[in-house]
């Protein structure tokens, strides 16, 4: 699998919509006929947070599902208006890798979760930071 350069990854963004949905997607800035800024989401995935028991404590696990299933729309490109977005940030490298793995693993459109091995490799700090950033609504992205 081709490892994307940092420049190629810059179009993959974490997006929190005003609805509260969290999405990771390739993003292209567009303008409509009135010169209003919009965004084209290409192959967007909705991030789903799950509480899972782990050694007497609870950890937050992430999984992704298509934002709009291919059975609804074969074309996985969607234009959204800038006023529908609460925040956009650069996702963590872990989340970018997860996004790439989802789309590159096969052509099936199924719900895919992080494997137990991948989940175990993520530190508590990484998991906590992903969730904190996602839930805080902080518009300032952090770079690690």
Do the Cβ atoms of 78 and 44 come closer than 8 Å?
yes
* pLDDT tens track for 19-44: 999 999 999 999 888 888 899 999 99
* CATH 2.60.120.10 applies to domain 6-136: no
Q: Evaluate if residue 138 carries a pLDDT over 50.
A: no
Whether the model pTM is above 0.95: no
Buried b (16+ CB within 10 A) or exposed e, 44-62: bbbbeeeeeeeeeeebbbb
Q: Write down the pLDDT at residue 130.
A: 55
Highest mean pLDDT among 5-14, 88-97, 116-125: 88-97
The answer to whether residue 5 scores a pLDDT higher than 70 is no
User: First CA to last CA across the chain, in angstroms?
Assistant: 24
Would you list the domain boundaries of the chain? 6-136
CA pair distance 45, 66, nearest whole angstrom:
5
pLDDT at 120: 59
pLDDT digits 0-9 by tens, 50-103: 888 878 888 888 889 899 988 888 889 999 999 999 999 999 998 998 899 888
């Amino acid at each position: 699998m081709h490892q994307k350069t940092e420049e190629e990854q810059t179009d993959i963004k974490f997006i929190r919509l005003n609805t509260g949905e969290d999405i990771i997607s390739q993003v292209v800035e567009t303008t409509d006929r009135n010169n209003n800024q919009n965004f084209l989401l290409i192959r967007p995935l909705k991030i789903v947070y799950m509480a899972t028991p782990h050694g007497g404590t609870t950890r937050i696990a992430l999984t992704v599902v298509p934002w709009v299933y291919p059975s609804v729309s074969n074309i996985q490109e969607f234009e959204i208006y800038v006023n529908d977005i609460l925040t956009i940030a650069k996702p963590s490298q872990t989340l970018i890798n997860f996004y790439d793995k989802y789309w590159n693993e096969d052509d099936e459109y199924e719900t895919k979760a992080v494997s137990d091995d991948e989940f175990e490799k993520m530190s508590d700090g990484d998991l906590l930071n992903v969730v904190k950033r996602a839930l805080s609504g902080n518009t300032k992205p952090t770079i690690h």
